[in-house]
């Protein structure tokens, strides 16, 4: 072999052996890399399966508990509703023709049409009103969602967009809401239907069914036009919490002008749950616009303000100061871009839950349930909690909008979902839709941040034409 050929031969030989060695080395590297990746995936899968299994058994345990120990089972029976929407008439009421929603438009249009043949189904008349103090024996304690509900004096309850405070000191429930017993009109041609501010109504009850009118605990201002509570403005969704540290009852509410451009929260304070409440002032919390809102008081006594902001495109959540009279600087933006409002919060086994509505004014739309490990987020969206009725009914939250969720102590995982069936033609005749809300069972939709595995049990709101709380709850202990 010549010198040149010899070198070429050497190079080829080297190359022949180097390639497989490099290949083996690369393969080894790739192998170990993919092994690491696959073990990681495997580990995560195991973790998820474990959490699913523990969750399942927790849920099973919960259901078992319910079957054996408390009688809400009948409330979980699905009740169908056969509402036949009549064929679209040519001449619709202007309220209805404005409403164009893709999925539930037929029913919602019918609902918004004051001349609808189904008007008596959506808004049953006074003849069918529920009058708890006169309801005898077998009829007692039944909620009839959508029917007129009378107080102990026989007048329709006026507590719209309301919330409930359980006052431990008097062992009494207080229901606060918008007192809307005035004429409905529009401030402008294109403005929303409205009623002049009358004030915040308050009702008391021991059984959550029989309500005594305690009067208007925060009245409107009649003369001073610059006052937040002037009758020409807007006062909505009042919520009251008791502050243990100061011994005061604190009310937060949505304060606005007739065009909804002020977008603020108002704060009022009282010595007693039945008022009178002293109005302090309004503010734009954290410097942001604030419309639909609620207050949630946590087990540790910290209260939070949750409000729709950035023109209803997102919600904001932040703790109140110790005296509940202001917000703290800390705030989180949640459900960004989701356009949710009418927030109603509750907590079960350390998890926070929220029901919200979409934004369509007085017209009903689809409710969504959300869950979070920390009230400050992140919040995950779990889908529509409504069960029963029929599909269109579920897509319109049984023709109502969330306002509050009442915990039922003694029946773990069970709540009352409070909603408003708004009547934009005659707002004072808006109705209450109270339904059982139960936490338990697997969610029906994979969650975004969790490899499709459920982390939380399902939140279900069951439709009933008529229902009542289990006997164990109704009979005072
Ligand atoms: C809804 C809101 C109500 C009220 C209404 C006015 O979106 O939830 O509280 O503000 O709009 O149109």
Above pLDDT 70, what percent of the chain? 78
State both tokens at 138: 């077998």
pLDDT tens figures, 203-248: 999 999 999 999 999 999 999 999 999 999 999 999 999 999 999 9
What mean pLDDT comes out for the span 23-45?
56
Q: How many CB atoms lie within 10 A of CB 57?
A: 11
Query: How much distance in Å is there from the Cα of 33 to the middle of ligand 1?
Result: 55
Q: How many CB atoms lie within 10 A of CB 35?
A: 10
Counting from 1 in the atom list of ligand 1, the atom nearest the Cα of 237 is: 9
Query: Buried (b) or exposed (e) across 118-132, using 16+ Cβ within 10 A?
Result: ebeebbbeeeeebeb
DSSP state of 399: G
Counting from 1 in the atom list of ligand 1, the atom nearest the Cα of 360 is: 7
What mean pLDDT comes out for the span 190-209?
96
What's the pLDDT at 41?
57
Reported confidence tier of residue 112, pLDDT bands at 50, 70, 90: very high
What's the pLDDT at 444?
58
Q: Is the pLDDT of residue 453 over 50?
A: yes
What's the pLDDT at 106?
87
Give the helix ranges, DSSP H, for 300-390.
none
What's the pLDDT at 71?
60
Q: Is the pLDDT of residue 439 over 70?
A: yes
Half-sphere exposure of 174 (CA within 13 A, CB side): 26
> Which of 362, 364, 402, 425 most suits a substitution to test ligand 1, by most atoms within 8 Å of the C-beta?
362
What mean pLDDT comes out for the span 147-167?
98
Reported confidence tier of residue 56, pLDDT bands at 50, 70, 90: very low
Q: Is the pLDDT of residue 367 over 80?
A: yes
What mean pLDDT comes out for the span 184-190?
91
Are 62 and 413 contacting, i.e. CB atoms less than 8 angstroms apart?
Answer: yes
* Nearest residue to 425 (alpha-carbon basis) of 172, 125, 186, 257: 186
Q: Is the pLDDT of residue 136 over 70?
A: yes
Query: How much distance in Å is there from the Cα of 409 to the middle of ligand 1?
Result: 30
What's the pLDDT at 32?
62
**What's the CA gap between 385 and 435, in Å, rounded?**
12
**What's the CA gap between 398 and 417, in Å, rounded?**
12
Q: What's the whole-number average pLDDT of the chain?
A: 86
pLDDT tens figures, 337-361: 999 999 999 999 999 999 999 999 9
Residue 149 φ/ψ, nearest 5 degrees: -120, 120
What mean pLDDT comes out for the span 82-101?
64
| SS3 (DSSP) at 171 | coil
CA distance readout (Å), 36 to 28, 42, 46, 343, 451: 12, 10, 15, 44, 19
- Ligand 1: list residues with CB < 6 Å: 161, 192, 236-237, 292, 341-342, 359, 361-362, 401
What's the pLDDT at 442?
65
Reported confidence tier of residue 24, pLDDT bands at 50, 70, 90: very low
Q: Is the pLDDT of residue 36 over 80?
A: no
Query: How much distance in Å is there from the Cα of 237 to the middle of ligand 1?
Result: 9
Lowest mean pLDDT among 184-193, 241-250, 467-476: 467-476
The set of residues, in sequence order, having a beta carbon less than 8 Å from that of 219 and lying 6+ positions away, is 198, 199, 229
3-state helix/strand/coil string of 59-97 = HHHHHHHHHHHCCCHHHHCCCECCCCCCCCCCCCCHHHH
* Nearest residue to 422 (alpha-carbon basis) of 168, 138, 146, 50: 146
DSSP state of 123: S
Residue nearest to atom 5 of ligand 1 (CA): 361
What's the pLDDT at 95?
58
Are 458 and 437 contacting, i.e. CB atoms less than 8 angstroms apart?
Answer: no
Query: How much distance in Å is there from the Cα of 365 to the middle of ligand 1?
Result: 12
Q: How many CB atoms lie within 10 A of CB 392?
A: 19
What's the pLDDT at 34?
67
| SS3 (DSSP) at 202 | strand
Domains and CATH numbers, the chain: 80-473 (2.115.10.20)
Query: How much distance in Å is there from the Cα of 459 to the middle of ligand 1?
Result: 24
What's the pLDDT at 50?
47
**What's the CA gap between 221 and 229, in Å, rounded?**
5
pLDDT tens figures, 276-325: 999 999 999 999 999 999 999 999 999 999 999 999 999 999 999 999 99
What's the pLDDT at 31?
47
What mean pLDDT comes out for the span 120-145?
94
* Nearest residue to 179 (alpha-carbon basis) of 194, 196, 158: 158
More confident: 58 or 175: 175
* E strand or H helix that includes residue 344: strand 341-348
Residue nearest to atom 6 of ligand 1 (CA): 361
Q: How many CB atoms lie within 10 A of CB 223?
A: 7
- pTM of the model as a whole: 0.84
What mean pLDDT comes out for the span 139-145?
95
State both tokens at 111: 């609902």
**What's the CA gap between 157 and 164, in Å, rounded?**
14
What's the pLDDT at 395?
95
What's the pLDDT at 30?
52
Q: Is the pLDDT of residue 54 over 80?
A: no
Q: Is the pLDDT of residue 381 over 70?
A: yes
More confident: 4 or 108: 108
The set of residues, in sequence order, having a beta carbon less than 8 Å from that of 384 and lying 6+ positions away, is 366, 367, 368, 369, 394, 395
């Amino acid at each position: 072999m010549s010198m040149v050929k010899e070198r070429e031969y050497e190079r080829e030989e080297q190359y022949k052996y180097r390639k497989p060695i490099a290949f083996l080395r690369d393969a080894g590297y790739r192998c170990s890399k993919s092994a690491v990746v696959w073990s990681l995936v495997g580990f995560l899968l195991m973790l998820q399966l474990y959490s699913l299994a523990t969750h399942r058994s927790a849920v099973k345990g919960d259901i078992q508990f319910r079957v054996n120990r408390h009688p809400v089972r009948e409330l979980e029976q699905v009740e169908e509703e056969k509402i036949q929407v009549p064929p679209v008439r040519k001449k619709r009421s202007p309220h209805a023709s404005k409403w164009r929603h893709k999925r539930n438009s037929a029913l919602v249009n019918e609902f918004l049409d004051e001349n609808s043949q189904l008007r008596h189904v959506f808004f049953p008349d006074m003849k069918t009103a529920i009058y708890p103090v006169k309801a005898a024996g077998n009829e007692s304690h039944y909620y009839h969602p959508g029917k007129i509900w009378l107080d102990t004096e026989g007048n329709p309850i006026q507590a719209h967009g309301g919330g409930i405070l359980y006052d431990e000191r008097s062992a009494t429930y207080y229901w606060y809401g918008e007192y809307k017993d005035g004429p409905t009109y529009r401030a402008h041609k294109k403005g929303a239907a409205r009623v002049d501010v009358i004030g915040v109504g308050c009702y008391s009850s021991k059984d959550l069914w029989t309500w005594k009118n305690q009067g208007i605990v925060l009245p409107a201002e009649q003369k001073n036009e610059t006052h937040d509570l002037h009758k020409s403005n807007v006062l909505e969704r009042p919520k009251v919490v008791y502050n243990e540290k100061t011994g005061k009852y604190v009310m937060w509410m949505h304060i606005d002008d007739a065009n909804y451009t002020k977008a603020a929260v108002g704060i009022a304070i009282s010595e007693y749950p039945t008022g009178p409440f002293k109005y302090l002032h309004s503010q734009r919390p954290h410097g942001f616009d604030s419309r639909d809102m609620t207050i949630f008081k946590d087990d540790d006594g910290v209260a939070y303000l949750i409000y729709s902001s950035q023109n209803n495109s997102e919600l904001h959540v932040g703790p109140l100061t110790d005296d509940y009279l202001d917000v703290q600087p800390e705030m989180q933006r949640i459900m960004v871009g989701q356009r949710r409002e009418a927030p109603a919060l509750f907590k079960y086994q350390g998890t926070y839950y929220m029901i919200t509505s979409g934004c369509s004014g007085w017209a009903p739309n689809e409710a969504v349930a959300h869950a979070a490990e920390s009230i400050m987020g992140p919040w995950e969206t779990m889908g529509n909690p409504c069960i029963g009725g029929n599909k269109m009914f579920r897509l319109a939250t049984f023709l109502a909008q969330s306002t509050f969720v009442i915990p039922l102590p003694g029946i773990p995982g069970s709540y009352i979902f409070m909603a408003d069936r708004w009547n934009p033609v005659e707002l004072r005749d808006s109705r209450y839709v109270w339904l059982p809300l139960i936490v338990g069972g697997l969610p029906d939709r994979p969650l975004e941040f969790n490899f499709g595995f459920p982390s939380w049990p399902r939140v279900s709101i069951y439709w009933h034409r008529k229902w009542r709380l289990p006997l164990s709850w109704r009979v005072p202990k």
